[in-house]
A and B are shown apart, each in its own frame.
Chain A
Amino acid sequence: MLTNELVLPRLALAGARPVEARSRSMTVPSDEDLVVSAQNGDREAFSRLYAGFAPMVHGILLARVPRDEVDDLLQDVFVRAMKRLRSLRDPRAFGAWLATVTRNRATDYHRAPHGSKLPDQIPSPRPVETEAWFVLQAIRNLPEAYRDTLMLRLVEGMSGPEISARTGLTQGSVRVNLHRGMAMLREALAKKVV
């Protein structure tokens, strides 16, 4: 998160330290500070990173694996990240590093043997759910850069600047990915090509 002045909800975590606050508005550490603290074993710092970056990880996973698997893999990504966090040299690169961990986890998922399984089973389709599934599949079929960015924008509700801050991509790259991806998505939906 780029902003340093935020009002954060209290985290109900074992061992969480009291939030130091003189007023409702309080100074909170930047993501970079949180990464450094987490690397030194601060659980609260890691939990804050987890809460802040979960939507990004969720969106990247949703672009690659069945919906039913996303929550389990999301946890798994953060457990992996926690174990490997000390190897991250530049705390400013946490978002990009975590996105890579996430994509690697999704790749591992597809390498592992699974039973025959439909991508996202919908038991008795309703028009709205069927269309949502169709759109989701259309996004999943876009090139990787567009797929992730559009998933974060349309599903996770993140803005372009937020996507840039989280993933480490430049704002210019995110802007291009969003607009080109959206154009391809419109084309796919118009042709109903999934």
Chain B
Amino acid sequence: MSEHDNGYLWDKSGPVDPEIQRLELLLEPYRCRGVPRLPLPSHVGLLRVSLLPRLVLAGAAAVVVMAVAWFVLRGMSPDTWTIAVLSGEARVGSLPVSGSARLRAGQVFETEAGALASIRMPRVGWLDVEPNTALRLIASGRNQQRLSLLRGTIHAHVSSPPRVFIVDTPSAVATDLGCAYTLHVDRSGDGTLRVTHGWIEFEWKGRDSLVPAGAMAVTRAGAGPGTPFFEDSSEAFRLALSAYDFPPDAQARSRALATVLSEASPHDAVSLLNLVRNAPDADRGAVYDALAKLVPPPPRASRKAAIAGDPSALDPWWQAVGIGHPPGP
């Protein structure tokens, strides 16, 4: 090929250059995703005048909400989390932690570079906290223990009943269904989840993925969780799945789905089962058909019921895949 005759490189016309396309898919996660809100310093005065009454009302409402939340949490006899700093420097709020400390709802715990910590959560289990991690304890009641992972990495070991322990991230909510897992969030709000035991429900704004042991899922700020997959799936499958979950445009998504379905092996049935649940209506039929070729559907998993998202149709299929099925709500 001469220096200037690659139409695909120039304006995406002509035959697709497979290497360039592969690089595009590979680098797509680094693309500008939406436009963050722009501060407008030269117009602060205008905003201040027009928004002042609303800000006053919002402030008053926030005070009321905080007061109610405080009374509710107080009435739930919260459990206190106990932190043990194993190495390095860490702090609760602005106070350095030496050895052990208590963590209460609303407080932020942070580890510095090189620090490791473990947090005991009564009747739930424990968390291992890696360096450069910040988390806020949201609630530690009897029915729900919840934290917000602001950045960094935690390893959760949970023995409580399903749906008691919940972790919020900027782009997904991880609900424990009886398991152990590692969750990482970077500063941009993107994250990765690796489940080592049991199941996790990874949800954001109605888009949810069921992630079984051995699988992982990524989540992107502004988009939510992607489809779970096994890390030893083929590279072509994983790249196409990522392009399908986080597509630059509708055409790319359509192309990616074709690749996902053609590259899927029986090992990837977990991914396709999640796609049957989460894909847009127009794609579900094709996903069902591809999955049915890899893992024959049980009698109850009719095409119509499965495409409609009927759990009674999908649950037996989870069993047929050989990984059990996630605990119900």
Do the two shown chains form a genuine complex with each other?
Answer: yes
**B10 touching A59, Cβ below 8 Å:** no
**Chain B neighbourhood of A83, CB < 8 A:** 41-42
Name the contact of B39 in the complex, choosing from A79, A124, A178, A179 (C-beta under 8 A): A79
Query: Does A26 belong to the interface (CB within 8 Å)?
Result: no
**Chain A neighbourhood of B20, CB < 8 A:** 154, 182
The contact string, 1 if C-beta is below 8 Å from chain A, for chain B 1-45, is 001101001111000000110011011111110011011111100
**B3 touching A180, Cβ below 8 Å:** yes
Chain A proximity of B110: nearest CB distance (Å): 15
Query: Does B146 belong to the interface (CB within 8 Å)?
Result: no
Q: Nearest residue in B to A55 (C-beta to C-beta)?
A: B32
Chain B proximity of A185: nearest CB distance (Å): 8
Q: In the complex, A50→B26 CA distance in Å? A: 26
Chain A proximity of B124: nearest CB distance (Å): 24
**Chain A neighbourhood of B32, CB < 8 A:** 54-55, 58-59, 74, 156
Name the contact of A155 in the complex, choosing from B27, B38, B216 (C-beta under 8 A): B27
Chain B proximity of A133: nearest CB distance (Å): 9
Q: Which of A28-36, A94-102, A106-114, A157-165 contacts B (4 or more CB under 8 A)?
A: A157-165
**A179 touching B4, Cβ below 8 Å:** yes
Instruction: Decide: A78 near B184, CB < 8 A? Known: A135-B26, A159-B10.
Output: no
Chain A proximity of B1: nearest CB distance (Å): 9
**Chain A neighbourhood of B130, CB < 8 A:** 123
Interface positions, chain B 168-185, Cβ under 8 Å from A, are: 182, 184
Q: In the complex, A156→B28 CA distance in Å? A: 7
**B27 touching A43, Cβ below 8 Å:** no
The contact string, 1 if C-beta is below 8 Å from chain A, for chain B 157-194, is 00000000000000000000000001010111000101
Query: Does A127 belong to the interface (CB within 8 Å)?
Result: yes
**Chain B neighbourhood of A78, CB < 8 A:** 38
Between A127, A135, A153, the greatest number of chain B beta carbons within 10 A of the residue's beta carbon is seen for A153
**B30 touching A136, Cβ below 8 Å:** yes
Instruction: Decide: A132 near B30, CB < 8 A? Known: A14-B47, A74-B36, A82-B42.
Output: yes
Chain B proximity of A78: nearest CB distance (Å): 6
The contact string, 1 if C-beta is below 8 Å from chain B, for chain A 103-134, is 00000000000000000000110111001100
**A68 touching B30, Cβ below 8 Å:** no
**Chain B neighbourhood of A55, CB < 8 A:** 31-32
Range class of the B interface residue count: 35 or more
Q: In the complex, A57→B28 CA distance in Å? A: 16
**A179 touching B248, Cβ below 8 Å:** no
Chain A proximity of B26: nearest CB distance (Å): 5
**Chain B neighbourhood of A131, CB < 8 A:** 26
Name the contact of A79 in the complex, choosing from B19, B29, B38 (C-beta under 8 A): B38
Q: Nearest residue in A to B239 (C-beta to C-beta)?
A: A128
Name the contact of A179 in the complex, choosing from B6, B27, B231 (C-beta under 8 A): B6
Query: Does B284 belong to the interface (CB within 8 Å)?
Result: no
Q: In the complex, A175→B6 CA distance in Å? A: 10
Interface positions, chain B 238-291, Cβ under 8 Å from A, are: 238-239, 242, 248
Query: Does B111 belong to the interface (CB within 8 Å)?
Result: no
**A155 touching B9, Cβ below 8 Å:** no
Instruction: Decide: A182 near B30, CB < 8 A? Known: A79-B41, A154-B20.
Output: no
**Chain A neighbourhood of B188, CB < 8 A:** 67-68, 71
**Chain B neighbourhood of A54, CB < 8 A:** 32, 35
Name the contact of B235 in the complex, choosing from A127, A154, A160, A175 (C-beta under 8 A): A127
Chain B proximity of A164: nearest CB distance (Å): 10
Interface positions, chain B 67-105, Cβ under 8 Å from A, are: none
Chain A proximity of B251: nearest CB distance (Å): 12
**B3 touching A155, Cβ below 8 Å:** no
Q: In the complex, A115→B182 CA distance in Å? A: 27
Chain B proximity of A145: nearest CB distance (Å): 15
**B10 touching A178, Cβ below 8 Å:** yes
Q: In the complex, A124→B186 CA distance in Å? A: 12
Q: In the complex, A111→B187 CA distance in Å? A: 22
Chain B proximity of A115: nearest CB distance (Å): 9
Tell me the B residues contacting A by CB distance below 8 Å.
3-4, 6, 9-12, 19-20, 23-24, 26-32, 35-36, 38-43, 46-47, 50, 130, 153, 182, 184, 186-188, 192, 194, 216, 231, 235, 238-239, 242, 248
- Top 3 closest pairs, chain A to chain B, by CB: A58-B32, A160-B10, A159-B11
